[in-house]
Amino acid sequence: MIINIPENSDFSIHNIPFGIFSTEDRSPRAGVAIGEHILDLAALSELDVFDFNTAVFEKEVLNDFISLGKEITKKVRRDIQLWLQDDNSILAGKTELFVKQTDAQMHMPVYVNDYTDFYSSIEHATNVGKMFRDPENALLPNWKHIPVGYHGRASSIVVSGEPVHRPKGQTIPVGSEQPVFGPSQRVDFELEMGFITGKSTNLGESISTTEANDYIFGLVLFNDWSARDIQKWEYVPLGPFLAKNFASHISPWIVTLEALAPFKVEGPNQEPKVLPYLEFEGARNYDINLEVGIAPEGSEEQTVCQSNFKYMYWNMAQQLAHHTVNGCNINVGDLYGSGTISGKDENSYGSMLELAWMGTKPLKMKDGTERKFILDGDTVTMRGHAEKDGKRVGFGEVSAKILPAK
């Protein structure tokens, strides 16, 4: 092996995720994560090993590289895997091509032109329905017929590490019928995965569930922050607005669909039967272990959630097919959130809203404090990895600190 990869590294030889990094002496550019290092693709391209215009590796986002198509992006990944495992390859002795991750700053991996958030975990939707609507009829009538989603705000999607200020807005105090203005008292995380599209379509075109994988470049961890008290007041009749658009965080490394192929699993049984355009063949869910930790300022992190992407009722192929069935066009770099990922057990719930059950069951932190929702100074960190038959493919983490309202 050209470079040492620690045991249980998220960035094994089976992964090779793509991202954008910079250092003190290297401008933002494309790289791949391998173990504790980054392989500088812009520097590698100077060895004349690629047969396409490698100027795409010097861009500040991956959109142009991704738009070259999977025939090229898959070959780049495969070639790097082979070179890393061959002690006589072009990478041999080329230490200048590698940068320690600790010496690099990560950036947004893609320019996100459009963003859609889905609501595809039946456990999460059921929990929310029980809390806010009817414990006996928690799901709305349409939920098992369509992958429910809404269009979000792309401009406030930021990369892991950027802090975010507590949002302000209108809320309804308990026992009052009149709104007040001020900082949200119920800031919450939402544990999600996001997929990024690698091909564009024209207005009027649709993508079938069979074609969907050709359009999905890869996945990231996604923390879709929410302000539950603002959301409760504003979401009727048109849905989330200020409660959701103040910030969402993504992990910096995009794990390709090819790297995740060994971890495909069957999803939940869908009853009633879906309409023909949502039917699909084969395993379309992914067994990805997920966890969330909260670290109060100056204190040790407490794991509060352990979930899995395999729980999703609606899969990515169905989400993309539904999104485009009306002719909605998509672009390279568009981001699609899975919706909060919750499992059946209480410790697998993917939001504080569920974990603390609307504040009625506070979580105890290691420093002795309690959490109903996220407090100023708290750092929320999400991690994810898939593991099977000695292969581990991970996402690293998406982490962010909540600062006081401005």
- Exposed, middle or buried, 176 (CB in 10 Å: 0-12/13-18/19+)? exposed
Residues ≥6 apart with Cβ < 8 Å to 38: 19, 21, 31, 32, 98, 99, 100, 101, 104
| Residue of 52, 24, 28, 53 lying closest to 40 (CA atoms) | 28
CA-CA-CA-CA torsion sign (315, 319, 325, 331): negative
- Exposed, middle or buried, 68 (CB in 10 Å: 0-12/13-18/19+)? middle
Length of the chain as a residue count: 406
| Residue of 243, 240, 369, 249 lying closest to 300 (CA atoms) | 369
Q: Check: CB of residue 325 under 8 Å from CB of residue 347.
A: no
Reduced to 3 states (helix: H, G, I; strand: E, B; else coil), residue 44 is: helix
Instruction: Determine which one of 37, 124, 322, 323 is catalytic.
Output: 124
Query: Kind of pairing, strands 226-227 and 98-100?
Result: unpaired
Quick check: is 124 catalytic? yes
Q: Which residues of 134-172 are buried (b: 16+ CB within 10 A; e: fewer)?
A: eeeebbeeebbeebbbbebbbebbbbbeeebebbbbebe
DSSP calls for 137-206: S-S-TTTTTS--EEE--STTEEETT--EEPPEEEE--TT-SS-EEEE-S-EE-BEEEEEEE-S---TT--
d(CA 311, CA 313): 6
For the annotated catalytic residues, the residue numbers are 124
